[in-house]
Structure 1
Amino acid sequence: MDVEKKRPGLSMKGTAVIVCAVLAAAAVFFAVDYYRTGRRYSSAGYAMGAVVTQNLEGRSAQETAAKILQDITAAERKSLSRTAEGSDIYRINAAAGNIRTEVGADTAARLTETLALCKASSGALDITLGAVSDAWGIGTGARRVPPAGEIAALLRQTGYGKVRVEAAAVTHPEGQSLDMGAIGKGIACDIAKDIAAANGIDKAVVSVGGSVMLYSSSDRETFTVGIRNPDGTASEYMGILTLKNGFVSTSGNYEKYFELGGKRYHHILDPATGYPADSGLTSVTVFCQSGLASDALSTACFVLGYEKSLPLLEKYSAQAVFIGGDGKVCVTGGLKDLFKLTDERGFTLVDQL
């Protein structure tokens, strides 16, 4: 039987359940005195192919939320989308064949940072898999398991090392297709953080699919973040993190997939094989001080697996929670005292996977 599963209203990335912001904001700190003070504002919108939820506190909360959604949408339309005609990535792909494409300064900077992450991950993250992803069609009505020969031929065209960014010009070879899906939502969170800080917001939690921005003007503020149970619904979580300012991103094999012949094929592809990554993990949640990096690292670590992820996380001063397919959970050192396992029947904390 061919069955495709996609959680409604959610993105390709696995979703970290934001207890204080998305599911239970009214019970924590945003709803208190909202109507009396007018300083707290909550909203939900859509951008980057995902639901965007915002919970802001500050004198210009409503106006700032509108600005955040506007700028995220503009970044998608003008820079990051591979399907919106006229966007920088769309034009780069249209000019594949080592034709120089002039792009915006933001796009060039994001590509440079992302390519460095691709290299640091030894190719576990690779933004040149667009054509391979298209061949699988996961998330579309054309999902299928491509023939091995087709995947092999497409893989010969991939390779982040073939992309050149010189000042504001980008070149890459014919047949290659850039796809910023593994970092777009993290970039959206970076945009949200910059706007919140610039507009004097006191506290903010902005979720874009599976990437979340946590911001407070006070270094004493903490946020409660729930990590989703990979076997449960979008509102079920298996553990809780207590964090200060930063960014959280989760990648998982449960968010977008189809089943055929009793086998699950999920959307996170291993650049080395062209097939869904099989590292023994069901999800990876990464916390660090960059939205782009948290998003990219969650994907790369999911592909790499636990052991091979540790040097990469250290390089980017990032921390992570790994969930194995057997229900074992491993938390890196910087989060050990900040993580609480709430589902002890389905999961077990271990020192390493």
Structure 2
Amino acid sequence: MVQLETMAVPLPLPTATLLPSNIPEDAPEHCPGTDSDLAGQAAGCAGCPNQEACSTAPKGPDPDIAAVRERLKDVKRKVLVLSGKGGVGKSTVSGMLGWALSRDEEVQTGLMDIDICGPSLPLLFGLQSQRLHSTSSGILPLPVSSNLSLISIGFLLPSPSSAVIWRGPKKNGIIKQFLKDVDWGELDYLVVDTPPGTSDEHLSVVSYLKESGIDGAVIVTTPQEVALQDVRKELDFCRKVGVPILGIVENMAGFVCPSCGGESDIFIPSTGGADELAREWGTEVLGKVPLDPRIGKSCDFGVSFLEEYPESPASVAYGEIVDRIKEKLDALPPSSSA
């Protein structure tokens, strides 16, 4: 079993770095860039808040990027699930995408949970008591079914209530290890569930996958403006780091009564919701998922909501979302690692 204390931890990337320019947002005027041999040592670096990190960080490309590319060479499509806002159901959407993609027994799907401080996928798949094991070929993801597997830091914690109190470098280390050392085998889809925000975890997964290829990001929001204003930041992040946007999923778009089947709005789209957001950013709404209380029940018990309640409007919406994602991915050229 993998031990936390034995994980290789890389030196930190400056948290404000914008790929691929390697120039931090708050850098002085004559910043040489974080990959330069003069990083942290040039005259213009004096007084910069990133000076120490830049001067001690290894220069040039990370040698482990090649190892990541080799490990993921048999993964056909890699999709990030992102949202700048917490609490919009991003992990639930990731889990549902995993369930939906794996309904076709010929499709091999992997789920990677890089929400380091709040890993939810072990609970959503009923695997909280499981632990990871490794072989000579690498760390083995835990099987959910014959064609769906999962990796999460939740499998490394002493208990589900154990807090992960880590700074950026150690977070980067576990993400790199998941990408470099997990033996996925051949996958049609790798879905990566990320934490809210645009910081360490997001920069790490983008930088480590830049040569393997990220096929796209699914952006999750809820209809109200308090969520949309943070999701705009995530869309801006994707554009700045070069991650293609597959589209937006509007979660909790209304409430479905499990008794009568009636629908009503809970979160009012006061500024136009996902439709207006997609128009503003030149992308599309992949689908709108209504809130069904049976989703929470299914997640708590680690069973597939899509199989338990296929007649629910939420299940129908997830099916349409996955069909659209697959359609868009099929139209893309093969990713660089496949």
TM-score bracket for this pair, using the shorter chain length: under 0.3
Calculate the TM-score normalised by the size of structure 1.
0.27
Please identify which structure carries the higher strand content: 1
Q: TM-score, normalised by structure 2?
A: 0.27
